[in-house]
Amino acid sequence: AQKVTQAQTEISVVEKEDVTLDCVYETRDTTYYLFWYKQPPSGELVFLIRRNSFDEQNEISGRYSWNFQKSTSSFNFTITASQVVDSAVYFCALSEAVNYGGSQGNLIFGKGTKLSVKP
């Protein structure tokens, strides 16, 4: 069965600190996708990144970076120099491979990590 574990329920940091959000997943599929979403207080989940199981290259986007390691089934997310606007709940998610005609809307979400960045 597929499963996503975000062991950190809540994290509190002071602005400008770096913070890493952990994500560990379980799947028997050899082809799958991993995602990170951000949920601000408004409730709308915002897509941050998608990574397929064949691409283990780390990715950096501004202050955000992601470390994907298949050997440890982890897909961690780091925010560098955190800002108050980064305060939100962050979800890691897993889905089976997206094929034409196949399911793509069935994401398995972790329970989320609530990040609070204080000024």
Partner 1 sequence: KAGVTQTPRYLIKTRGQQVTLSCSPISGHRSVSWYQQTPGQGLQFLFEYFSETQRNKGNFPGRFSGRQFSNSRSEMNVSTLELGDSALYLCASSTQGTGELFFGEGSRLTVL
How far apart are alpha carbons 48 and 38 in whole angstroms? 7
Nearest approach in angstroms of CB 69 to partner 1 is 20
Binding residues (CB under 8 A) for partner 1: these are 33, 35, 37, 42-47, 50, 91, 95, 98-100, 103-112
- Give the bridge partners for 74, in sequence order: 24, 69
Pairing state of beta strands 113-118 and 64-69? unpaired
The residue among 87 and 95 lying less far from partner 1, judged by its C-beta, is 95
Q: How far is the CB of 55 from partner 1 (least distance, A)?
A: 13
Question: C-beta of 92: minimal distance to partner 1 in Å?
Answer: 11
**Pick from 4, 79, 1: which is nearest to 35 by CA?**
4
